[in-house]
Structure 1
Amino acid sequence: MTLRRLWAVVIKELRQLRRDRITLAMIVGIPVMQLVLFGYAINLNLRGLSAGIADQAGTAGSRALVMDMIATGVIEPTVEARTPQELMARLRRGEISVGVVVPPDFERRRVEGREAVQVLVDGSDTVVQSAAVQLAQLPLDSAAAAQRKIVPGADAPIGVVAFYNPERRSAVNIVPGLIGVILTMTMVLFTGVAIVRERERGNMELLIATPITRAELMIGKVLPYAVIGLVQTTVVLALGLTLFQVPIQGSALDVYLAAVLLILANLTLGLMISTKAQSQFQAMQMTFFVFLPSILLSGFMFPFAGMPRVVQWLAELLPLTHFLRLIRGVMLRGASLWELWPDVLALVAFTAVMMTLAILRFRKRLD
C-alpha cells in the first residue's frame, strides 16, 4: 500500500461525489431538513385547535367563560353552532377538533355547582384529547367558587367528553395511520425505481422498438403495484382488527377507496421520481427525501395543529396528510368519503398533476 495510490482513490471518489448531485444534496440536505423539522416545525405543545362554539346561554358569564377558554391558546374558534348536534356533525367530518357546549341554564348550573359546560373532543387523536383536558381546569369564576366554598379551579364544573377513542388506546390512533405510512414508503419506492430499472437492465431498448405510447407505459407501470398496495392495506387492517381490536366505524368500501386514492398518488409520485433519477440508488435517495417530511409533517407522529402555519401549508402538499384525515375519519369517526370531499379532491388533483408531469418528462430513448 502506498499513499500515492491511496490518495488517487480518494480523489477519484471525491470527483465522483461532485458529479453525483443527488448524493451531494443528501450530505447537506438531510441534516438541514431534520434540524429544521425537529427544531421548528414539530411542536408537542398543542395550541390553536380548531373549535366550534355553541353558546346556548348567551349571558355575560357564558361569553366570559368562552373568552377565557380561547385565552388559554388551546383552542381557536373557527365555527359557531346553535346546537350540540351541529357540533357533533362537524366533529365527525373532521372540520373541528373540539366543541364547546354552553347549555341554556348555564348560570343556574354554575351556581348549583353542577356541570355547566361540556367540551366535546375528537378522541381519535390522543394528543388532541390530552390537550383539550386542560380546558377542564379552568375555574368558572371566583364568586361561584366562593358560594360553593371551594378553591377556584379545584373542582371546575367543566366536563370533557372524548368521542371515537374514549379509552385513549394508542393502537386505535396509530394503526389507521400505519396504512398510509406503509403505502407511502413502498409505493413511492416501487415505482421510483421502475423506469430506472428498465434502463439499467437494457429493457428500455425493447420498449423503444414497440409502438407503446408514453401514457400506456406509465399507466401500465402503475396498475400492478396498485394491486400490491391493496394487499398491504388488507394485511394491516386484518392485523389491526385481530391483534389490537381497532374498529372500522365507517364503510369498509370507503376505507379501500381512500387507500386506492393514496396508492395512486404515491405511485404517480414515484413515476415522477423515476423520470428524474439516473440510477436505482438515486431513486431510493430521492424517495427518502419524500418519505421523511411525509411521516413527520402529515400528523402521523406529531400533532398537525402544533405546527407553524407555514409548515401546515407545506404539509398540505403531501398525500399522506390528506389520507390520514380520510382514514381516521372513516375508520374511527364513521364518516363517509362524501363528507370528507376536500381531502378526496386533493388526492385526485395530486395524482393527475404527478401523472401528467411524469408522462411529459418521460422520453422513449436511452439518453
Structure 2
Amino acid sequence: MNLRRMGAVVLKELRQLRRDKLTFVMIAGVPLLQLVLFGYAINMDVRGIEAAVLDQANTAQSREAVAEIASSQVIEVKYRLDNPQQIDQLMRQGRISAALVVPRDFDTRLQRHDPTRPPLQLVVDGSDQSVQASARQLAAFPLAGWSGVPGVEVVNFYNPERLAPLNTVPGLLGVILTMTMVMFTAVALVREREHGNLELLIATPVSPWELTIGKVLPFVGIGLIQVSVILVVSHWMFAVPVRGSLLDLYGASLLFIIASLALGVWLSTLASTQFQAMQLAFFTFLPQILLSGFMFPFAGMPKVAQWIAELMPLTHYLRLSRGIMLREAGLLELRLEMLILIVFCVALLGLAVSRIHKRLD
C-alpha cells in the first residue's frame, strides 16, 4: 500500500468531481431535496380535504352541526348541494373527496342518542387511502350534547372493504411508467453521443423533430405493454377492477407515456454522460413519487408543495387512473387532467427539440 500513489488517485477523483458540475450539484441537491420534502411538504396529518355538504334537514341544529364538523379543519366545504346525485357526480370527477350528509330526520336522531344511527353521514372517496384515514378521525367526532358518542357514520365509496391493492395498483401504474420511460429515454441521446452514432446522423437530412419522435415511438409500445402486464397481473393476483372504460384507461396511459418520454428526452439534452442522465432522471422521479399523492396525502401538503405537484405529470395521471379504474369516471369527466397532460407533452417535446443539435459537441 503506497499512500502517495493512493493520494494521487484521490486527488484525481476530487478534480474530476469538481469538473463535473452536475454531479457536484447532486451531492448537495439530493439531501436538500429530501430534507425539504420530508420536513416541510410531507404531512401525514391531513387537513383541508375538499368536501361538499348536503343538508337535507336545513335546521338551526343541522347548520350548527355542519359548522362544528368544519371547525375541525379536516374537511373544507367547497360545495352546498341540493340532491344526493350531485355527490356521486362531483366525486367521480375528482372535484371532492368527501361529502357530509345531514338527513331530514337529523333533529330526531340527535334527540334519540341512538349510537346505531348516527345523526350525520360522511361519504368519502375510498380510492384514496389518506382520505379514508382522515375520515376515521371524524367518525369519532362527538357532536355537542352526545356525551362522547360518535355522531358521524363514515361510508366508503368505491372501496367499502378498504382493500389496499385497490388504492395502490392505480398509483403503481404511474410510478412504474415514470421509472422506466424517463430512465430509458434520458440515456437515449446521450448514448448516441457517447457511442459516436451522431456522426452518422450529421450526414443525414434527419431533422430534430424526426430524431426526437423516432427515439420516442419505440418506447411508447413498450409502455403500453407494461400497462397491459400490470393490469392483467393485478387483476389475477389482487382482483383489482377496471370499472371504467378500458379504452379510456389506455388513452390516458398513452398520453402519460408520451409525457414521461418527453421529459426523458429533455433530460438527455441536459446531460453529457449516461451517468448524468440517470442522475437527472432520479432527481425528477423523487419529487414526483413523494408529492403526487401516491405515498403521502396530497391534501396534507402545504399549498406551495401542491402547486409544485401540479406541474408534475404523475400527479395528474394518478387522478386519471384512480378515477377510471375505481370511480368509473370517463375522460370527459376528467378532461382537465387530460388537458394538462397534453400541454405538458407539447411543451416538453418542443423544449427537447429546441435543444437537440446534430453536433458532436
* TM over 0.5, shorter chain: yes
Residue from 268, 277, 286 that aligns with 2:271? 277
In the alignment, which residue of structure 2 is the partner of 1:251? 245
In the alignment, which residue of structure 1 is the partner of 2:84? 84
Q: Whole-Å Cα distance in 2 between the matches of residues 160 and 83 of structure 1? A: 19
In the alignment, which residue of structure 2 is the partner of 1:148? none
| 2:123 counterpart SS class | strand
| 2:137 counterpart SS class | helix
State whether structure 2 residue 349 is matched by structure 1 residue 349. no
Q: Is this contact kept in 1: 2:118–2:150, CA < 8 A?
A: no
State whether structure 2 residue 227 is matched by structure 1 residue 224. no
Residues 17-61 of structure 1 show CA distances to partners (whole Å, capped at 9, x for unaligned) of 001011111111111111111111111111111111111222111
| 2:256 counterpart SS class | helix
In the alignment, which residue of structure 2 is the partner of 1:26? 26
Please, what is the CA RMSD of the aligned residues? 1.1
Q: Whole-Å Cα distance in 2 between the matches of residues 117 and 8 of structure 1? A: 74
State whether structure 2 residue 121 is matched by structure 1 residue 118. yes
Deviation at 1:84, TM superposition (A): 1.6
In the alignment, which residue of structure 2 is the partner of 1:154? 149
Deviation at 1:16, TM superposition (A): 0.5
Residue from 123, 130, 134 that aligns with 1:131? 134
Q: Whole-Å Cα distance in 1 between the matches of residues 133 and 269 of structure 2? A: 45
The TM-score normalised by the length of structure 2 is 0.97
- Structure 2: stretches of 5+ with no match in the other structure: none
Q: Whole-Å Cα distance in 1 between the matches of residues 172 and 283 of structure 2? A: 19
Q: Whole-Å Cα distance in 1 between the matches of residues 208 and 298 of structure 2? A: 38
- The one-letter code matched in structure 2 to 1:26 is M
Deviation at 1:77, TM superposition (A): 0.8
- The one-letter code matched in structure 2 to 1:317 is L
Q: Whole-Å Cα distance in 2 between the matches of residues 154 and 116 of structure 1? A: 11
Residues 169-197 of structure 1 show CA distances to partners (whole Å, capped at 9, x for unaligned) of 11111111111001000000111011111
- Structure 1: stretches of 5+ with no match in the other structure: 146-151
Q: Is this contact kept in 1: 2:124–2:132, CA < 8 A?
A: yes
Residue from 260, 264, 283 that aligns with 1:289? 283
Q: Whole-Å Cα distance in 1 between the matches of residues 150 and 37 of structure 2? A: 39
Q: Whole-Å Cα distance in 1 between the matches of residues 65 and 235 of structure 2? A: 42
Q: Whole-Å Cα distance in 1 between the matches of residues 140 and 148 of structure 2? A: 6
Distance 1:292 1:155, change over 3 A: closer
| 2:153 counterpart SS class | strand
| 1:350 counterpart SS class | helix
Q: Is this contact kept in 1: 2:103–2:119, CA < 8 A?
A: yes
- The one-letter code matched in structure 1 to 2:123 is L
Deviation at 1:155, TM superposition (A): 4.4
Q: Whole-Å Cα distance in 2 between the matches of residues 162 and 40 of structure 1? A: 30
- The one-letter code matched in structure 1 to 2:40 is Y
| 2:234 counterpart SS class | helix
| 2:51 counterpart SS class | strand
Q: Whole-Å Cα distance in 2 between the matches of residues 286 and 298 of structure 1? A: 18
Q: Is this contact kept in 1: 2:143–2:150, CA < 8 A?
A: no
Residues 73-100 of structure 1 show CA distances to partners (whole Å, capped at 9, x for unaligned) of 1101111211121012101111101101
Q: Whole-Å Cα distance in 1 between the matches of residues 28 and 328 of structure 2? A: 44
- The one-letter code matched in structure 1 to 2:211 is L
Q: Whole-Å Cα distance in 1 between the matches of residues 347 and 300 of structure 2? A: 29
Aligned residues: 358
Q: Whole-Å Cα distance in 1 between the matches of residues 60 and 21 of structure 2? A: 64
- The one-letter code matched in structure 2 to 1:2 is N
Deviation at 1:274, TM superposition (A): 0.7
